[in-house]
Amino acid sequence: MKFGDIVMCVASIAVINVLIGFPLELMFVLAGLGFEKGVDIGVFVAMFLSTLIGGYIFSGKIWEARREAITKITVLWAALVSLILTIIPAGLAHWGLVSEESFREIFPGTSWTTLSNAERMSFEMMDNAGFLFFVVAIALVLSFIGLYVGSMLRRPAKS
């Protein structure tokens, strides 16, 4: 599988993920799971389904060098997810407030207001790193499984 094919597969997975992600998140939120759980479940289901569909679409190319292709696609997809997740806190006005809530849960009795700005920023960076670690780890597992199963659904014809 050529690098261009890997990039095209990852780009396709990203587009599919965006197209099915919002409806799935909305469905889970409206099903009564609430914003936090509903959105999280929607994100992970969309991640799995988009890689499953990507594995199905690109199964012909994946079967040329199966493990290597799936590994390369998975790593590039995880890198894209990592890049997006690194940017998210900058665009969300409430990220700092969520980090403050996390701080209060982890360090009960410690006042957020007594921390210096550098300490708050350090905690927010650590909180973001934990979020990034968790989501990228799940992305690696779900994408590997999704690509593998998707490519199995459409095996190449035997000659």
Q: Tell how far CA 98 is from the center of its chain.
A: 19
Say whether 110 sits in a helix, a strand or coil.
coil
Q: What is the pLDDT along the chain (159 residues), one digit of tens a residue?
A: 889 999 999 999 999 999 999 999 999 999 989 998 999 999 999 999 999 999 999 998 888 888 899 999 999 999 999 999 888 887 787 888 888 888 999 888 888 888 898 998 899 889 889 989 999 999 999 999 999 999 999 876 665
Closest C-alpha to 143, from 65, 57, 81, 61? 81
The candidate with the shortest Cα–Cα distance to 91, out of 46, 128, 47, 137, is 128
Are residues 10 and 73 in contact, defined by beta-carbon separation less than 8 angstroms? yes
pTM beyond cutoff 0.75: yes
Amino acid type, 130: G
The rounded Cα 64 to chain-centroid distance in angstroms is: 26
